[in-house]
Chains A and B, each alone.
Chain A
Amino acid sequence: MPSAHDWINNPLGVVEVQNNSNPEWQKKVVDYFKDKLTEKEAQTWVPSLNDVPLHYLKPNSLVKFRCLIQDMFDPEFYMGVYEAVDPATKSKSLKCGKYKDVTECLQVEFNSRNSVTSERQTFYCVPIPGESSWVKECYARSSQAQVIPSTSYTPNRHKRSYDEDDDMDTQSQRPRDSNTGSQSSGDSQRNGDSKRQETEAPSNNTTTTQSCTSPLDLNYPLPEEQGPACLVKVYEDWESFKLNDTIEVFGILSVDPALGGVSEEKEPTSLLDPMESMETVEEQRAHSPPPSLVPRLHMVYALPLQHINPLLPSAVSEDKNAFVTSFLSELGSIRSEFLAYLTHILLGDALAAEYLLLHLVSNVYARRDVLPLGKFTLNLSGCALSATYTEHLYRIIQQLVPSSYRLPMSLHNMNSMRMVPRKDYVANRLVSGVLQLASNTSLFLDETQLEQGQLDASGVRNITALGNLISWQKVDYDFNYHQMEFPCNINVLVASEGRSLLPSDCQVHLKPQLAPPNLGEFLGAIQAAQAPSQMNRYRLYLSVTRRMDYSISEEVTKAVEEDFVEMRKDDPQSMSAEDLHRMLVVSRLLSLSFGQTTLSTDVWMKTKHLEMLRMSRIQQQKSVNGHEP
């Protein structure tokens, strides 16, 4: 029987054992890992590709990866069971090809009647775009994985690792003794190790040369993204996964250098090779990149992630409900503290802070026909206080939400950036764009960066795409011959000087009460004043309130209805169905922000009050600028 940690270090051994003992082994293997992983804390033992550099990880060991499905390749057929021929003894034996990339022997009997062809699906996965550093740190800290750096590890490799400072921390935390828990793994593992040592050097060379000549485009949605991309091979119900899903994959790592598609020693291709014309070089590069850069992961279990906030207990733990209820009790105080914090950041503007809070809580919870419900795009106008204010603002938001991205809407960016993902038929892959983001990502559009000038065709397309994203929460992916709509759930915050050129659900004009001489220092000081534990409370607050359920009772519905009719009577111009729609969204978010799951008349009155304040401020602003309404 495999020992406690064996299933992490040598999962293939486990597979083998199950395979031999039971005819229904496929299901048993999946169940086995599922059982193991749902054990308390078991998930934290598994090393994560997100925070451990690839060269620290043992090939063929179980690893986890928190990622976004960026692309889905065509299904692939592999030899589920095949007959191997030992060249020395000519003896034949049946081998299992599941969870492996490469056959284990040199000769394979192709025409054997015993071989079984099976199907698997490959997903190209990237780390969650725009994931905040605090999320990464927090996950890394909670990891209890014992990672043994391979013996060939040399410090100069460090250049390649993706987050350097973090690296040092994790390394120091990890126990160095390489013998614990891996005693029983036996021969196979040592073989793996030695093999790895042999293959390490050349593969490393190729990547370095490649990175200096033509860096392989790893197809991250966001330009400055880093981290490992991964080819995840899925064996069971791949239909349940969708593009842009965030998942945590538990799988067997495979980094066999032979997988690198663009082989150096291209053998003299025969005249009649049917494959030759089928696969372009670009396609090969995209579909079989060097494994040292893009490792393969054979999925044994995947956990769809509802959120990526590490502070919230994971879905499997049973004390989640207890946690939430205890948290709800202190929700009120957190809210007021949080509001005060936001007010400081918005230079004393309490109204804008209130709306910013609502925006941060918003979430598309349903769709009716084409209309997404629950989205709350905020346009914060009057942000051009100083050149760097928006940047500071973004940094603060970044500290609060699990994933975010700031898009400076400069003319150059708008004209040159690729926002909408596009299918590249030559390489047969989906070329990512900035708008390929995970659910609940905060997108910070900085319109103060926009200068006068000419938008070209792609600029117009980009603006249209942003507009569609805001209005319908959908992105039309470009498939050249047609477009395909992919729904998304992205919180868009537009910071602008005047009214934004993009549509928005709600516009608030910033009215600073304070005018600190040095804005940067001032904001820095506010941020420094918040203890990390306090920040964590804010983060938790946002994640919890966003996920709460909400309803409107019959009585309140009636009251709201009456109210609307009344308001229309007084002033039909400023109250349309759309206004009602927005007010209902505001009241929903307001209720949730107080931790209430139903709409109360109090909140409704407060909503009306807020909206009134906001409208009057917009009116003021208009008259100041001399625009007629």
Chain B
Amino acid sequence: MAAEVVDDQAMREAQRDYLDFLDDDQDQGIYQSKVRDMISENKFRLIVNINDLRRRNEARAARLMNNAFEELLAFQRALKDLVASVDATYAKQHEEFFVGLEGSFGSKHVTPRTLTSRLLGSMVCVEGILTKCSLVRPKVVRSVHYCPTTKKTIERKYTDMTSLDAFPSSAIYPTKDEENNPLETEFGLSIYKDHQTVTVQEMPEKAPAGQLPRSVDIILDNDLVDMVKPGDRVQIIGTYRCLPGKHGGFTSGTFRTIMIASQVKQLSKEAAPYFSADDVLKIKSFSKSRSKNVFDQLARSLAPSIHGHDYIKKAILCMLLGGVEKVLENGSRLRGDINVLLIGDPSVAKSQLLRYVLHTAPRAIPTTGRGSSGVGLTAAVTTDQETGERVLEAGAMVLADRGVVCIDEFDKMSDMDRTAIHEVMEQGRVTIAKAGIHARLNARCSVLAAANPVYGRYDQYKTPMENIGLQDSLLSRFDLLFIMLDTMDAEQDRVISEHVLRMHRYRDPKEQDGGVMPFGGAVDVLATEDPDIAQEELEEMQIYEKHNNLLHGKRRRDRIVSKEFMKKYIHVAKAITPVLTTEAASHIAEEYSRLRSQEQMGSDIARTSPVTARSLETLIRLSTAHAKCRMSKLVELEDTEVAVELVQFAYFKKVLEKEKKRSRAEGHDTATEDEEEEDEDEEETPRPPRKRGRRSEERRPSQGSEPYDPYDFTTEGQVPQIHSPAPRPAEEPMETPPEKGQTEVSPDRLKAFKAALLEVFRVTHAQSVGMNSMLEGIAKSPAGPFTPGEVRASLSRMQDDNQVMVTDDIIFLI
């Protein structure tokens, strides 16, 4: 008895504390107003942030966490008191008021796996996927019975193990009173509550490798029922308790554990990896490190088991990062997703690349062109066999919304799917109008597809278009198209063989025979804290894979970024939305027009896919992705350069000429793709003979240091953004006088030089001028003599801006 009195006192004290906390008029009045809101919205659950309570009354908060039942009961009573003081009639309408918690739960933020017996009786926050929902059933809270003989009414309250009261009431539903008179139940007066049980299962990415995911049963009452449906990712906060298991007549000695929810939150579909402060620091320092090219390094670390294919890896990295999506005012959408198509001979590791992406991308759905079932890639209306109801079933692309869909054997796809995919790839949604169902589903996914050439093997003597055998409309939707060929080159072969051999020779020293390396099992940092502290230290994120001479070769420079780090880095980088600088925009516009004009180049280089206005968007997307990779908020020239390089590589493919012409092919026939790429550079633009490498070297140091005139090129800057389909003539920059030219990165001297040069041209009245006479001319200019270095730099600068052209020491004015 004594103990109970103490309990009672403690209870009252707790209730007073909570009332103090809620009645925060003197403080900020947050909860006062929250309670008022609750009343006005006719709700009976108040969400309390545990952090607020912790700030006000730390001891109480700790007790609430550890001794959830009694404390929560006190809390709810306090709430009822407060409601009664605010609005007495409202308080009478409802039997009970509830308190839901949110905030930081620390060690009590768990997954079903880490929900241990230690946490029984505490307030916990469980995360997982909802896998099973029972029907919503009414549960009697209070029954009212009327006895016709005695004309009396009896009222009875029911509580069971799932309610907060410590002692369950008698569970017998009265049908007779003490004198055995029959009772009638007054259903209208009895009170029922909604009741539902759900099962939450551990998220697949958090289950350790080789273990089955665990689950926990959760009870939802009152307003919490039906808030979630199976398949949702949820966060449920509630009290964890166990019920003694009683089977028939014996006691099994085991308990059943359940959680009684007090708050349900839906999580976004995206499974966010956990970041520690240290991680963020590492990511930051990695992105800032000047010594290396972040983009190249990350690209190299993609699928390290596959050798070579650098451009493809770069493209895949861009795809993982994505561009920036724009929704225009008229509702149409410019996609930010980057689609990549790989076409190539059998056995060039296409599928392996796909497989790798599946493991790196946060949301990736694998499918094959021919293997997909009736639902296909987009969506289908099916008829439920049992009920005959029509059901909308989502296909792979819908499931991969905001992710990547990897389609293998793209060429084997049925025509129906192929037409359906058109809309999805550009608009990012699926429209269904079938069987009385009209629906529009989001499918904003990047597509990574792999296909075999039409003739099984790539035919060198046919154009790429013929080899690919897909219609233009579909091809133009792919940003980048790569032809992966099995080419031969001794040096290349050596590297490949070295790579394969390394893989075969390497053995993880810790690994046991036939052991399986943990894969994709992200460590939940919240969860690792108590079971294995030692392990956690091991799991501390490494930026680089441990270097192993046997595995990675001897070159220290090629450090491989660990997959875990890569995932996190991509996650962070993806969130950035860089904006185009005018400089980058003009570069893109210029390159685009060059691409268009290159179409007519003919000769032995052919396009792999049509250059359309979509290519312009492609350039923007790729540069944006690269800027994201640098964690830059601006898309700058270096980004566009990489994008152009990628596009150049992907769009053109040399075709070998038939035998008779072959002798004239200037020994290009044995060229590897890399060589071809360089060949292209030289051949494609005979007029300005510039080398990409040199240009970037020159520009980079001056990056951002010079002011530029933002008004000068505004029109150009905007053109790519509003997606003008009109091809822009490459000569346009000529119309702007050289004096006002793109001085944004050049020093004042350049301006002076340009003025001097123009003067020379004016004096000679010619379109071209010899180098020597030019030098003499500018020496007379007021800006003073220019050093030869300055002249060279300025000329090449202007040349890049398409203002002049230098060949054989003759300067042409464009």
Contacts and interface: CB of A to CB of B under 8 A. Distances in A.
Interface of A: 71-72, 74-79, 82, 97, 100-103, 108, 110, 117-119, 239, 242-245, 258-259, 261, 263, 265, 267, 270-275, 277-279, 288, 306, 363-371, 373, 423, 425-426, 428, 430, 439-440, 457, 460-461, 463-464, 471-472, 479-487, 489, 547, 551-552, 557, 560-561, 564-565, 568-569, 572-573, 576-581, 584-585, 588
A568 B230 CA distance: 55
The 8 closest A-B pairs by CB, nearest first: A242-B210, A572-B488, A270-B171, A564-B497, A77-B255, A578-B347, A487-B516, A457-B373
B219 A274 contact: yes
B497 A565 contact: yes
A542 B155 CA distance: 78
Nearest to B399: A482
User: Which of A82, A110, A423, A561: most chain B CB closer than 10 A?
Assistant: A561
Nearest to B304: A369
Contact of B256 (A110, A278, A306): A278
Nearest to A567: B493
Given A239-B208, A272-B171, A584-B504, 18 more contacts: A77-B257, A258-B248, A267-B248, A274-B161, A275-B243, A368-B305, A368-B503, A369-B305, A370-B356, A425-B131, A428-B132, A481-B129, A484-B207, A487-B516, A489-B516, A557-B505, A568-B493, A579-B347
Contacts of B99: none
5 contacts: A77-B255, A270-B171, A275-B256, A565-B497, A577-B497
Contacts of B351: 471
Nearest to A572: B488
B117 interface: yes
A366 B254 contact: no
B525 interface: no
Nearest to B367: A464
Contact of B497 (A78, A560, A585): A560
Given A367-B516, A568-B493, A75 B214 contact: yes
A274 B253 contact: no
A271 B252 contact: no
Given A551-B505, A557-B505, A481 B497 contact: no
Contacts of B544: none
B275 interface: no
A159 to B, nearest CB: 29
User: Which of B129, B137, B201: most chain A CB closer than 10 A?
Assistant: B201
Given A72-B212, A487-B519, A117 B497 contact: no
Contacts of B250: 102-103, 258
Interface of B: 112, 116-117, 120, 129, 131-132, 134, 137, 139-140, 158, 160-162, 168, 171-173, 195, 197, 199, 201, 204, 207-217, 219, 230-231, 242-245, 247-258, 303-305, 307, 347-349, 351-352, 355-356, 359, 368, 371, 373-374, 486-488, 490, 493-494, 496-501, 503-508, 511, 513-517, 519-520, 531
Contact of B134 (A76, A102, A277): A277
Nearest to B137: A277
Contacts of B231: 481
A277 B212 contact: no
Contacts of A423: 131
Contacts of A460: 371, 373
A581 B504 CA distance: 8
A177 B576 CA distance: 80
B352 A552 contact: no
Contacts of A72: 211-212, 214
B251 A480 contact: no
A366 B251 contact: no
Nearest to A487: B516
Contact of B506 (A258, A259, A368): A368
B137 A370 contact: no
Contacts of B498: 561
Contact of B204 (A243, A367, A479): A479
A106 B507 CA distance: 58
A564 B493 contact: yes
A554 to B, nearest CB: 9
Given A72-B211, A481-B231, A117 B242 contact: yes
Given A76-B254, A364-B514, A367-B519, A118 B248 contact: no
A92 to B, nearest CB: 15
B738 to A, nearest CB: 52
A133 to B, nearest CB: 24
Contact of A103 (B132, B160, B207, B251): B251
A324 to B, nearest CB: 14
A568 B253 contact: no
B160 A584 contact: no
A270 B507 CA distance: 61
A569 to B, nearest CB: 7
A572 B513 contact: no
Contacts of A565: 490, 493-494, 497
Nearest to A467: B371
Contacts of B349: 577-578
A480 B230 CA distance: 10
A263 B247 contact: yes
Given A82-B253, A97-B253, A271 B504 contact: no
Contacts of B173: 271
Contacts of B488: 568-569, 572
B214 to A, nearest CB: 5
A365 B507 CA distance: 9
A82 B172 CA distance: 29
Given A101-B253, A487-B516, A552-B505, A577 B500 contact: yes
Contacts of A480: 131
Nearest to A279: B256
A526 B125 CA distance: 66
B501 A560 contact: yes
Contacts of A578: 347, 349
Nearest to B210: A242
Contacts of A440: 514
B17 to A, nearest CB: 27
Nearest to A71: B212
A103 B494 contact: no
A366 B494 CA distance: 24
B252 A102 contact: yes
Contacts of A551: 505, 507
B212 A430 contact: yes
Contacts of B374: 457
A569 B352 CA distance: 26
Contact of A110 (B244, B252, B368): B244
B375 to A, nearest CB: 9
A568 to B, nearest CB: 4
Contacts of B486: 572-573, 576
A370 B359 contact: yes
Given A368-B506, A479-B213, A565-B497, A306 B197 contact: no
B130 to A, nearest CB: 8
Contact of B243 (A272, A274, A557): A274
Contacts of B245: 275
A580 B371 CA distance: 29
A373 B504 contact: yes
Contacts of A100: 253
Contacts of A71: 212
A580 B496 contact: yes
Contacts of A366: 506-508, 511, 515, 517
B107 to A, nearest CB: 17
B504 A552 contact: yes
Contacts of A119: 116-117
Contacts of A367: 516-517, 519
B140 A102 contact: no
Contacts of A482: 129, 204
B348 A576 contact: yes
Nearest to A473: B516
A426 B214 CA distance: 15
